[in-house]
Amino acid sequence: MKKFLKISFFIIISVPIIISVLDRLFPLPLDEAYMSRIVVASDNSPLWRFADKNGIWRYPVKIDEVSPLYIEALLTYEDRWFYKHIGINPISIIRAAIQNVYEGKIISGASTLTMQTARILEPHKKTIGGKIRQIWRAMQLEWYLSKDEILTLYLNRAPFGGTIEGIGAASWSYLGKMPSELNHAEAALMVALPQSPSRLRPDRHSKEAQKARDKVLDRMEKFGIWSKKTVKEAKEEDIYLPPRFTPQLAPIFARRSLKMTDERVIKTNIDISMQQNLEEMALGAKSILHQATSLAMIVVDHTDMSVKAYVGSMDFNDESRFGHVDMVSAIRSPGSTLKPFIYALAIDEGLIHAESLLQDTPRIYGYTPENFDSAFLGAVSASEALSKSLNLPAVQLIEAYGPKKFTAKLANADINLKLPLHSEPNLAIILGGAGVSLDKLVSAYSAFARNGKISPLRYLRDDPLVEYPFVHDGAAWITRRMLSGEADPAFYRRGFLSLAYKTGTSYGLRDAWAVGISSKYIIGVWIGRPDGTPVPNQFGTATAVPFLHQINNYLQHKNTNSFLLNDYLDEKPPSVSAENICWPSGQTLEDNDINCRIKKRVWIFNALIPPTLLSSEQDSLTGGWFTYYVDDKGEMTAYYCKNAIKKRVALWPESLIPWLPKNEQVMARLPKKSSTCPPLEENNPTRTLLIKNIKNGTIFMLSKDKGELTPKISSQGGKGTRWWFMNGKLAAENKERDFLNYKITKNGQYQLVVIDESGQSDKVEFIVENIQ
């Protein structure tokens, strides 16, 4: 008896120790089960799969994400006592042994669902040693995992033929639907397939698969789980499978999303139908756009900033177009697409209003850009300048606001411009002299859809909605109307707003951009070569805008309910009101005031009506309000003269004079000088710089024999050096009375502007025709 007790005690003590040692020496290989990852759309449809090291792909699911019919069929057919046994079922083992001995062959197995899971995790041969190892692994599973965790492991690891594992991947691959949508027949089929995945693959062996399915259905009827009628109807369904589904959407975005989370199932906000439509649109563009050109598009629902479509390149599989390069996140020169932000900030700061008088005239100091069409318009309103994407007014605004302040304002909203190496923010950034990505640019445009607040894009469903204040709601609302071409209060209709958009073209025609804001979406389009090579005739309006409109038209037909949001989006903020203003002062005047030369109706922000913004190069005495004195004869005199009466007149900025009609020029607006007591010379704003030897409308004839002509043009008056601009480009620099040495070789219309050191200017326009 003592010996027996000693042996029993030894066994009791040693068995746990042995088990513990074995458990440490041979741990469960659970880590290998979690290597596969999948990216899914907003409705959980697969977008792209990332297989594990063995090429296997899975769609990990939870129990509640699988049809209850499948769970019923699986447990009934494979392991009815799953939730009651300890990993092995002794009764089943005895039953199977008796049946196999009686029949003289193996006709029944005794593997529980836990044991099957153990064999999936660690495959083995059908030997006694293999079975012992399988039992050992099953017991380990029961020690470490709950029953639901074991079942979930089986759901995601069961073999379904080829490179498919798990009910999630199988349901999508064979049936093209979510596992939660399986009916009775489909659930039975999915239960049967792991019995012999290769032999029963329904896409290859439909008859064998149907027999196996019906066997499962018979078992469900036998145990009273499903009714006889249900089973009969299920058997009547033929196994007809659509082409095998392989998730192949948004490859570049899927690759990027891997870095956003560690989750095996990456749940995005992508709208799968929208994504598919845009990818087809991109592929269709291959026959339209230049060779080696790529195309990137992104669509964001600005009501919650969720990314609904993301096309990173024209064709992921086209190496000639750098299809593997993500051009949504690539840093590129944005061209003119940053201009709306300086207008919004200038309105917000009280520098301008929507109809402020700006100056589209040449610059002769510092940064001297040109307009895209190489011509100058003279006096333009802020809304017209933004609508026509004029460069000089935008430079005037950022010079007044400050390029460093502009860059910092964007950076505070998580929009960090990429400046050239060892470079400080300068005037050039407003015309594309800094880098930004398409996704960041679209994020920035949310300011015009979200009441002046900029929000980062939400790629994943769990991404929080974050807001950074940029401008006040009134400034954002006015800027958006300027972008839509409806800045005039007369066009305002509550609840209606056209597509507001801005284009951009980088230096050298390397990048074409278009960013638009509709009632629900922000749409971003980029076109160009990823290697930075210029593309002839590629610019925003001609190349990118057609795709912007195509996407917007698709969205309108896809979701007509989005336009119900117009009331919310176009509700005029309380800080915005309409006023009448006058040019050239830019301020409110009485209707009968002689200084109201041009009257305009304008939206203003916070009741501010700022005066005309003068260029930093402009002498304040030659623009804005000019004070002078007149005598009793009405002639201009000095302030100290007898009977001098103080007067004031609103003058146009000096640089605009060449574009003004004669009755608006300085000499026409001021009385003649007194001969007895004239005004001081320093207070005399009268223009003296003139272009000589040519008049407006002059026609020059170009001989085909000579092929060129050099008109004798010079200037008189003015001060110091003068700079000549032909069609917006600097043509020459000389002194007074020096002839302009400029050769003309082509016919057409020409605009000639001269500017001197004092800021005075003159302009003529002439025509060159070929001699017939």
Q: Which residues are catalytic?
A: 78, 336
CA-wise closest residue to 656 among 764, 751, 762:
762
On whether the CB atoms of residues 300 and 521 are closer than 8 A, the answer is: yes
Contact 624, 585 (CB under 8 A): yes
Q: Among residues 693, 733, 695, 700, which one has the least CA distance to residue 716?
A: 693
Q: Which two tokens stand for residue 580?
A: 């009448």
* DSSP state for residue 64 in the 8-state scheme: G
Burial class (CB in 10 A: 0-12, 13-18, 19+), 600: buried
- Size of the chain in residues: 772
The helix/strand/coil state of 469 is: strand
CA distances from 384 to 489, 537, 558, 603 (A): 14, 24, 33, 14
The three-state secondary structure class of 763 is strand
Strands annotated E in 529-665: 576-583, 598-605, 624-630, 636-637, 645-651
- Report how far residue 31's alpha carbon sits from residue 22's, in angstroms, rounded to the nearest whole number: 18
What is the Cα–Cα distance from 397 to 479, expressed in whole angstroms?
Answer: 14
CA distance 134 to 219: 26
Nearest to 581 by CA among 267, 340, 356, 251: 356
Quote the CA–CA distance of 91 and 97 in Å, as a whole number: 10
Distance CA 484, CA 502 (A): 9
Pick the closest to residue 524 from 509, 508, 537, 511 (CA basis). Answer: 511
Nearest to 511 by CA among 338, 363, 708, 748: 338
Q: Find the distance separating the first CA and the last CA of the chain, reported in whole Å.
A: 133
CA–CA gap between residue 306 and residue 463 (Å, rounded):
9
Report the 10 Å Cβ neighbour count for 1: 5
Cis amide bond preceding 584, omega within 30? yes
**What phi and psi, each to the nearest 5 degrees, are found at residue 173?**
-70, -45
Q: Which DSSP letter does residue 420 get?
A: P
578 residue type, one letter: A
Kindly give, in sequence order, each residue whose CB lies less than 8 Å from that of residue 359, ignoring residues fewer than 6 positions away: 378, 379, 380, 392, 393, 396, 615, 618, 653, 655, 656
For the chain, give me the number of helices (H) and strands (E)?
Answer: 21, 24
Residue 438 CA to residue 515 CA, distance in Å, equals 9
133: tokens are: 């190892």
Which of 383, 330, 575 shows the shortest CA–CA distance to 471? 575
Nearest to 110 by CA among 121, 123, 132, 95: 95
E strands, 94-239, are none
Which residues, 6+ apart, have CB-to-CB distance to 523 below 8 Å? 297, 298, 299, 300, 442, 501, 514, 515, 516, 517, 548, 551, 552, 555
